[in-house]
């Protein structure tokens, strides 16, 4: 009986320890263009376009910061960003930004979003871009 009680207490202790530990997200939250509009109204949100500078200069979402996913300095560039702020990533279709999200998570970002369908879907839904 005493052994069962010790085992139960040990299991409860393990559950408490693991439930209290901070878990990193395994991936970015997928966000629609409409939901992104609402999120961008917050001052602290960072919008990051991970396309090439050529793609970015051809047209981008207002107030976006360009950090080229293909640049050799990409990993270092994202380390300079405030990890405490929510970050929205986007690219052309959503694939590069999903790959970028993995690097952001590895760098310690926890409040991370990926624009569903990228800038293609953004434009198809009638939202503006800047050149």
- Going by C-alpha positions, the residue among 131, 125, 98, 93 that lies closest to residue 113 is 98
Sign of CA dihedral 18, 20, 22, 28: positive
- Going across the sheet that includes 87-90, the strands are 29-31, 112-115, 87-90, 46-49, 65-66
The question of whether 20 is a catalytic residue gets the answer: no
What are the Cα distances from residue 20, in Å, to 10, 17, 78, 82? 16, 5, 28, 24
What are the Cα distances from residue 105, in Å, to 23, 29, 32, 79, 98? 11, 12, 20, 11, 11
Q: Which of 91, 101, 112, 119 is catalytic?
A: 91
Catalytic positions:
91
């Amino acid at each position: 009986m005493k052994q069962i009680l010790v085992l139960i207490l040990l299991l409860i202790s393990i559950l408490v320890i693991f439930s209290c530990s901070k878990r990193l997200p395994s991936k970015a939250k997928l966000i629609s263009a409409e939901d992104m509009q609402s999120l961008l109204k917050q001052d602290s949100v960072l919008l990051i376009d991970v396309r090439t500078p050529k793609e970015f200069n051809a047209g981008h979402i207002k107030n976006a910061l360009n950090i080229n996913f293909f640049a050799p300095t990409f990993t270092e560039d994202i380390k300079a960003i405030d990890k405490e702020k929510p970050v929205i990533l986007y690219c052309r279709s959503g694939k590069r930004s999903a790959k970028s999200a993995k690097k952001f998570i590895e760098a310690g970002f926890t409040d991370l979003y990926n624009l569903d369908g990228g800038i293609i879907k953004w434009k198809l839904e009638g939202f503006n871009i800047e050149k």
